[in-house]
Amino acid sequence: MAPNPATSDTAAPDAFAPDTAAPPDATPDAPARALTRECIAAAALRVLARDGLAGLSMRKVAAEVGVKAASLYWHVRNKEELLDLLNDALVAGAELPPRTGDWRAQYLEYGRRYRALLLATRDAARIVAGRLATGPHILAVLEDQLDRLRGAGFTDADAAMASYLLSAYVQGFVLQEQSPLSAAEAAGATRGEAARAAGEVFRTLPAETHPNLVALAADLTDPDMDARFEFGLHRLADGLAALLPTPRPAPGREPR
Amino acid sequence: MAPNPATSDTAAPDAFAPDTAAPPDATPDAPARALTRECIAAAALRVLARDGLAGLSMRKVAAEVGVKAASLYWHVRNKEELLDLLNDALVAGAELPPRTGDWRAQYLEYGRRYRALLLATRDAARIVAGRLATGPHILAVLEDQLDRLRGAGFTDADAAMASYLLSAYVQGFVLQEQSPLSAAEAAGATRGEAARAAGEVFRTLPAETHPNLVALAADLTDPDMDARFEFGLHRLADGLAALLPTPRPAPGREPR
DNA sequence: ACCTGAACACCGTTCAAGT
DNA sequence: ACCTGAACACCGTTCAAGT
């Protein structure tokens, strides 16, 4: 087993200068050519955007950074840890919503931006979804989000829950949105076509056994994912609003 | 390219006898030894339970059913389609909640049972999450769920949305719950330990830059996932309740 | 109609060996 | 300290060939 220094600093908030992508390299007369984990993460991000998660191999990431596959294992314990790095690198591109409007508006905007961030990179949701890794960029976003929720009057426990709830929803939603609708659809077909095809499946089911699917075929396969996302987001915000002591008039006006 | 009959019946509701796992095989004097897609799906389910998604290979599924890997490609276009089969097989074990109580109680129970179903099989959430495939069992559940929502007074569009919303939430939640918390946790560590370790990370952050993470360390890493799930589920239900014309007293009583 | 042997082009990971 | 060559044990998929 080779000596592997990439061990305990995975979760440590190193290199936390707010945004300045400063090349560290503290050692004075080093060859200055040593690979950094940041550099590997950036290369992985490029491979992901180009080839998707299925095409993201250690060998390709290594080639992207001009090195052999085996070399990566000096900086990273295994592929799983590389994906953790990639996870944080994805969130690094996040822009926090402005602190204008009430907590509800900011919460909604947080959800929208998170979704947009995931949609911007191919297969991003599949990487982020099952990964609680606490990279520095993720911690920064979480810190800001909790600050707003507590400021809005949520209890500590409720603020923590509300934050978790939002990420579970957004990740679950985008995962559906970003993934191929089915094996059939994977073989080239736009989302609109796939939706129409799915609607056709529903519509042509036997009405005796599946009356609701037949009737709601159009509603179930509406390709307007923005509207669908907004719907869920507003339900979440309404549900959270009911937890606060002072719901200005009452939640639930403006039903749609 | 070999002639492959497994093509257009992916989404067709074939073999839809409600629960009776009837071996079809319409041909009279066939060797009766031909592999069925149901049989392959069942074998895949066993391999999944045993070895997880990472260990689910075509070769292993073939071995499980007593055949060579290449043989599977007669019944299934590729691995993706096998996962579609697996997806529906997973849902086949679902039991619908009783039709007692109001729509809200039934909606909550739907969410709980869906979560329990996913938790019951290793990596189930990762299979189900990005897959809209319309297998017969999935269609049956969807039909029933829509029927209850419409009966409760939701509009067609809202019923479709509410159903989609629930599955996005449950899938997103269980995905987080079921996946390794990080690369570090993947190397043997119970969830409680991992949660405690994550809490330690939060607690020991610099308080100047991350005051909220430090303060909420315990709330953020509470390992009681049941409570966490219920929280989100109730927020969803509250948000949906606000859409109905007759909220008996008003949503939001009993805040916790 | 259904299954197999053998091959192709890949994987992640390890480890002695180089510098 | 960092990187490489070469190997190991796997993959998914294809396709001619068997029955």
- DSSP string of A160-209? HHHHHHHHHHHHHHHHHHHS-SSHHHHSS--HHHHHHHHHHHHHTS-TTT
Chain A's closest residue to B205, CA to CA, is: A13
Band the pLDDT of B7: cuts 50, 70, 90: very low
Q: Do B175 and A219 touch (CB under 8 A)?
A: no
Domain assignments of chain A as residue spans, ordered by start: 1-179, 186-242
Burial state string for B206-228 with b = 16 or more CB within 10 A and e = fewer than 16: eeeebebbbbbbebbbbbebeeb
Our measurement of CA A67 to C1' D11, in angstroms, reads 23
| Lowest mean pLDDT, pick from B85-89, B196-200, B240-244 | B196-200
User: In this structure, which CATH number among 2.40.10.10, 3.90.1640.10, 1.10.357.10, 3.30.2130.30 belongs to the domain A1-179?
Assistant: 1.10.357.10
pLDDT > 70: percent of chain A: 78
Residue B53 — φ and ψ, nearest 5°?
A: -65, -35
Alpha carbon separation from B165 to A51, A124, A170, B88, B197 (Å, rounded): 30, 20, 10, 19, 32
Minimum distance, in Å, between the CA of residue B189 and any CA atom of chain A: 14
Residue B210 contacts strand D, CB under 7 A: no
> Would you state the pLDDT for residue A55?
94
Contact A49, A120 (CB under 8 A): no
Burial state string for A236-250 with b = 16 or more CB within 10 A and e = fewer than 16: bbbbbbbbbeeeeee
Q: What is the DSSP string of A95-121?
A: -PPPS-S-HHHHHHHHHHHHHHHHHHS
B chain contacts of residue A224, beta-carbon cutoff 8 Å: none
The tens digit of pLDDT for each residue in B56-82 reads: 999 999 999 999 999 999 999 999 999
Q: Is the pLDDT of residue A89 over 60?
A: yes
What is the longest distance spanned by two Cα atoms in chain A? 79
Give the pair of three-digit tokens for residue B239: 């948000």
Give the pair of three-digit tokens for residue A140: 């920064």
Q: Which nucleotide is nearest to A72 (CA to C1')?
A: D3
Cβ-proximal residues to B224 (8 Å cutoff; 6+ apart), any chain: none
For the four alpha carbons of B22, B28, B29 and B30, in that order, the dihedral sign comes to negative
A252 vs A99, which has greater pLDDT? A99
Q: Do A242 and B252 touch (CB under 8 A)?
A: yes
In whole angstroms, what is the distance from residue A210 CA to residue A207 CA?
5
Residue A83 contacts strand C, CB under 7 A: no
Q: Is the pLDDT of residue B248 over 60?
A: no
A chain contacts of residue B170, beta-carbon cutoff 8 Å: 172
The tens digit of pLDDT for each residue in A110-119 reads: 999 999 999 9
Q: Is the pLDDT of residue A161 over 80?
A: yes
- Environment class of residue A32 by beta-carbon count within 10 Å: exposed (0-12), middle (13-18) or buried (19+)? exposed
Residue B178 contacts strand C, CB under 7 A: no
> Mean pLDDT, to the nearest integer, of B20-44?
63
> Mean pLDDT, to the nearest integer, of A73-82?
95
Mean pLDDT, chain A, integer: 83
Band the pLDDT of A246: cuts 50, 70, 90: low
Residue A59 contacts strand C, CB under 7 A: yes
B130 vs A136, which has greater pLDDT? A136
Cβ-proximal residues to B143 (8 Å cutoff; 6+ apart), any chain: A209, A210, A211, A212, A213
Name which of A10, A182, A213 is nearest B184 (Cβ-Cβ): A10
Neighbours of B203 (CB within 10 A): 16
Contact B240, A251 (CB under 8 A): no
> Would you state the pLDDT for residue A23?
39
B chain contacts of residue A81, beta-carbon cutoff 8 Å: 183
B chain contacts of residue A210, beta-carbon cutoff 8 Å: 139, 143
Our measurement of CA A7 to C1' C17, in angstroms, reads 24
Chain A's closest residue to B150, CA to CA, is: A212
In whole angstroms, what is the distance from residue B233 CA to residue B169 CA?
8
> Mean pLDDT, to the nearest integer, of A189-206?
83
In whole angstroms, what is the distance from residue B163 CA to residue B166 CA?
5
Residue A212 — φ and ψ, nearest 5°?
A: -70, -40
Residue A92 — φ and ψ, nearest 5°?
A: -60, -25
In whole angstroms, what is the distance from residue B42 CA to residue B85 CA?
9
Mean pLDDT, chain B, integer: 83
The tens digit of pLDDT for each residue in A15-51 reads: 333 333 333 433 333 344 678 999 999 999 999 999 9
For the four alpha carbons of A225, A229, A235 and A241, in that order, the dihedral sign comes to negative
In whole angstroms, what is the distance from residue B216 CA to residue B214 CA?
6
Chain A's closest residue to B235, CA to CA, is: A239
> Would you state the pLDDT for residue B185?
57
Q: Is the pLDDT of residue B28 over 60?
A: no
Q: Which residue is closest to C15 in terms of CA–C1' distance?
A: A1
B148 vs B28, which has greater pLDDT? B148
In whole angstroms, what is the distance from residue A9 CA to residue A13 CA?
8
Alpha carbon separation from A171 to A112, A131, A229, A245, B256 (Å, rounded): 11, 11, 11, 29, 25
Chain A's closest residue to B207, CA to CA, is: A143
Whose tokens are 């602190």? That residue is: A99
Q: Which nucleotide is nearest to B81 (CA to C1')?
A: D12
Cβ-proximal residues to A172 (8 Å cutoff; 6+ apart), any chain: A129, B129, B167, B168, B169, B170, B171, B172, B173, B175
Q: Do B159 and A234 touch (CB under 8 A)?
A: no
Minimum distance, in Å, between the CA of residue A138 and any CA atom of chain B: 12
pLDDT > 90: percent of chain B: 67
- Tell me which nucleotides of strand D come within 7 A of a protein CB: 1-6, 10-17
Our measurement of CA A1 to C1' C15, in angstroms, reads 7
